[in-house]
Structure 1
Amino acid sequence: MDLFKIFSVTILFVLLSISGVWSATITLSKSADKGQLGNNSLSLFCDYSLSAGQSVLTIDLKRKRADDSDFISVVSYYEDKLDATYFLKGSDLMGRTVITNPTSANRRATLKFSSIKCTDEADYRCELLYASRQGNGVVNSNTNIVLWDPEATPIFGKQKLLYNPTNNLAENQNVTFTCIGNVGHEPQGTFSWYKYVRGQASGVPITNGIKPVSLTIIPGSCTYVRTENLILTLTKEDNLIMIRCTVWQTTMTETGDANIQTDRITVYCKYRLGKC
């Protein structure tokens, strides 16, 4: 009985292979894990295979950016006939990419970047439409392009760390410190807060009272601006403290990749006249 089953399965496999009902396969890969912004290269490869009796109709490269609801065709490839072409939605790729058609001998469709922009960060899909004796079929494969920008370092400028209220601060009073800064791209930096007490050289890390506000991309750039609040209840020991907001992107220290801080803050005692 077992031999009969093995023989039957083998015959079925051969018949299916001959009839061409096995699906074509496709794999979308990339030449590097991440793309670097600027005049740098990166390639996407659509590699596919066909069974007997199958032929390529079209191969579409599709893109889905963060604000797209679905994949949109940007390039169309053909095997051994028409030239590869850009769709209207892929016109932003023209002049900085090279598209190469596959052939029956080399079943690889290629998109090669020579210049990479922020808008190239997206999900990509290679979709193969093929014909067979049983009708048309579709297979697809996905990958993504993640960008990094070595020039996008955190920046604060020369401003001071903002806080509110600013005058006549007293113990037991809540003060909101607001840190706004460019935190780069890939990786996006995070904020770390420190309190510097008078007479101490090292800062004391602050972990409570931190309220993230927003993370927004800078228009025309790949870098992000982070906004975060620190709500601190003052004590009499906080007289002449200094608060620092530090960006941790690659350097996890008190100075970090960039930082911004207040001047010394005067705290008045609530139940007696004068400074604490």
Structure 2
Amino acid sequence: MSQSAARSVIPGFGITLGFSVLYLSLLFLLPVAGLVLFTFKMTWPEFWAAVSHPQVVASYKLSFLASFIGASINAVFGTLTAWVLVRYTFPGKKIVDALVDLPFALPTAVAGIALVTLYASTGWVGHYLDLFGIRVAYSEIGVVIALTYIGLPFVVRTVQPVLADFEKELEEASAALGASRLTTVRRVILPAILPALLTGYALAFARAVGEYGSVIFISGNMPYKTEITPLLIVAKAEQYDYNGAAAIGVVMLAAAFILLLMINGLQWWASRRG
């Protein structure tokens, strides 16, 4: 084969790498580096005082705990939703499948207002929950519901393709060998979808940690109770405390970086298993 025939339509490695590095630098590396360098204006005691203030620590606990609970709920019900969409045919299936992506398309502020309308003490659902003393809006429960709502598509869309490619013959073979349904799920199906499930879980968790718009409406933003970390960053920026906002942002950036490393590790593990 001649050299001209072997050439690819895609540019060579050097040109492609250069454009990739330039694109990554302009959109990600420079803003992140600027945020980190901005905190160098602070002394270490000032930085530590900004990121370890009791109000900030309380927001860390709420943001990460609520994100963990929301991602765990989505891991269960997102997998069940993906199973139903792949394995069953029913009227309105395409509509349900499209609704899964609604949190992607719906503005987060609109989602927050809708959740407040639904779960407030005068709302359609909140009115009945209030009779049993269950308060959703303006509480930690409301934060969890908002983060669960925005994280569901990540689990469904990562698990759904794996279930679609899963061979039903393996389930039939397991049943023919005398395995119960629970054993088949635990020993055959779950190991096959586990890498995708963990990836979706990590994506939902990372998305929830940085969520802002849908939470501030339903949380009530009460300090030390329902105040999330992204809200504190915005509040400090509005008060012209850019150093404090940058310091908290660096902490959240470090947490997000660790989560991305975990996601990449899970994707590598999934590719090896594949």
- Category of TM-score, reference length = shorter chain: under 0.3
The structure whose RCO (Cα within 8 Å, separation 6+) is larger is 2
| TM-score (normalised: structure 2) | 0.20
What TM-score comes out, normalization by structure 1 length? 0.20
User: Larger % of helix: which?
Assistant: 2
